[in-house]
Amino acid sequence: MSEAHLNDPARHGAPVGTTVTVEVPASTGNVGPGFDSLGLALECRDTVRLTRLSSGLEFDLHGEAAGGGVPRTHEHLVLRAMQAAYDAAGAGSLPPLRLEAHNVIPHGRGMGSSASAVVAGVLAANAFLSAASRLTPDEVLQVCSRLEGHPDNVAPTLLGGLTVSYEEEGRFHSVPVSVHPDVVPVVAVPDFEVATAMARGLLPDTVAHRTAAVNAGRAALLVSALGGRPELLLPATFDLLHQPYRAQAMAPSAELMTRLRERGHAALISGAGPTVLTLVNGAEEAERAAAAIHEIAEDTASPAHSYRGQPVSWRVQILQVPREGAKVTVSTQ
């Protein structure tokens, strides 16, 4: 392909020197009983910056997982997501780019790091495309959801707040729901990872009708609790559909969640784990939950204290639920 074709503004929209910056929040999927349907955005953002070059491919990666294992080729997830957006728009291959990323979302912990990368890539690509070629919001959701396999993380990353997602006739749909301002997420992030594919592989093919009925009721209650009745968060986050089956893969997380719930805190496994997310009613309860996490984790007799014979270090953060999802800004030299 000729250099002139690569730099054709009619094809790519943005000229050389254009920079697109995307700030993408973390997210938690499943949200207790809302398996593969409920997603909640978390105010912990990666910043991805892409600059259109005249030639080549450059990387400047910082923060979480930047030191190893992340490809510095077109196989980088952000670039794969960009290419998927270009494919959906019929725009051909990507132009030469510089990718800068500052990652603060933990990888492999159930906080939507891959969904955030996907959303960042698709939105950046859309900003580079000419106005006539850009994807609609629905097309953006479809591309992101297909890359992730489901929309329950990408939807809140795109939209902020709480989202209820479903699939119908091969297309994904997500409905945003406002979250009560008193709802505060507290995350306890352990220093070990659990692969999402492995965690999903622990789920049974079928469950009892009563189990499904209980979960359906609690998922419906959770939407109400998050939207306006945060005092109901503890019963609303009860789950029988996925967390009990995954406990064996993340015993410290399962123990921490159980101990917190025994103390009256609405704790759950974030996504596929192993992060423990506690949804609390107000700032004072958030401080109590954080203190309880530290107390439980420091108990050397507790399974929450060690993993495979090694002590577990927990990072505890009191976050917010952002009303806005991903933010995109475009600048030119």
Residues making up the annotated binding site are: 106-116
Q: Rounded to whole angstroms, how far apart are CA atoms 73 and 80?
A: 10
Contact between 127 and 49 under an 8 Å Cβ cutoff? The reply is no
- The residue type of 291 is A
**Upstream peptide bond of 303 is cis (omega within 30 degrees of 0):** no
Residue ranges of the annotated binding site for ATP are 106-116
- CA torsion angle 227 244 157 25 (round to 10): 100
What is the CB neighbour count within 10 angstroms for residue 55?
10
Nearest to 34 by CA among 164, 161, 188: 164
Q: Rounded to whole angstroms, how far apart are CA atoms 285 and 313?
A: 22
Q: Which residues contact 174 (CB under 8 A, 6 or more apart)?
A: 39, 141, 151, 155, 158, 159, 163, 164, 165
Handedness of CA 36, 38, 43, 45 (dihedral sign): positive
Handedness of CA 249, 250, 252, 255 (dihedral sign): negative
Q: Rounded to whole angstroms, how far apart are CA atoms 229 and 266?
A: 13
